[in-house]
Amino acid sequence: MAEERTPRSSDGREVDKRKSDAWVPASVLPTPDPQDGWVFRWVRTSSLGNSDNSNVSQKFREGWIPVRTEDHPELQIISDIGTRFEGNIEVGGLLLCKAPEEDMAKRAKYYEDRANSQMDSVDNNYLRENDPRMPLLAPDRTTRTQFGKN
C-alpha cells in the first residue's frame, strides 16, 4: 500500500525566508508623525551660514507655524547650536513648520491656476500665428493608451 506523505510545499525552508527587517540609514531630516488637518514642511532659515530672513518671513506670512520640540518627542533630535528659534526643531538651517491642510490646499489651487493660465498664454501666443493654408500643430496635451486591436 502507498504511504501518505505530506507535500513538500507545506514544509518551510529557512532558505526561502527573507529578512524583512533590514537595516536602513537614518534620514538627515526626520519625518514627524502625521497629524490630522496639518501639513509639515522644512523651511530654510539659513544657507551657507548666512541667515535667510526674507524666506522665513515669507513662509510665516503664508501661514507656516514653527513646530515646538515638545509637540514631537518622537523626533529625538538636537536643534542647531545658537539657533534663533529656541524650543523649535531646526536641523542644518531648516526649520520644521506646519500649516493647516485646508490653507495649503487653497495655496496649491492658486499656483495650479497660475500655471494653467501661463500655459494658456503660451498656447494663445503660439496659435496666434496659425494660418489655415499651413496650419501649425494644435497643442494637444491629452494622452491615450490602447491595448489590443482597435
Task: Tell me the average confidence (pLDDT) per consecutive run of 10 residues in the chain, 150 residues long.
Answer: 68 58 77 87 87 89 88 74 78 89 91 91 78 64 72
Q: Note if the pTM is more than 0.85.
A: no
Across 8-43, b (16+ Cβ under 10 Å) vs e yields eeeeeeeeeeeeeeeeeeeeeeeeeeeeeeebbebb
Looking at residue 13, its pLDDT comes to 57
Partner residues linked to 79 by β-bridges: none
Environment class of residue 62 by beta-carbon count within 10 Å: exposed (0-12), middle (13-18) or buried (19+)?
A: middle
CA distance 40 to 61: 16
Looking at residue 4, its pLDDT comes to 78
Of 95, 90, 98, 121, the C-alpha closest to 39 is: 98
Looking at residue 3, its pLDDT comes to 75
The one-letter code for the residue type at 92 is: G
Looking at residue 126, its pLDDT comes to 74
Partner residues linked to 51 by β-bridges: 46
CA distance 85 to 93: 11
Q: State the Cα angle at 112 between 108 and 115, rounded to 5°.
A: 140
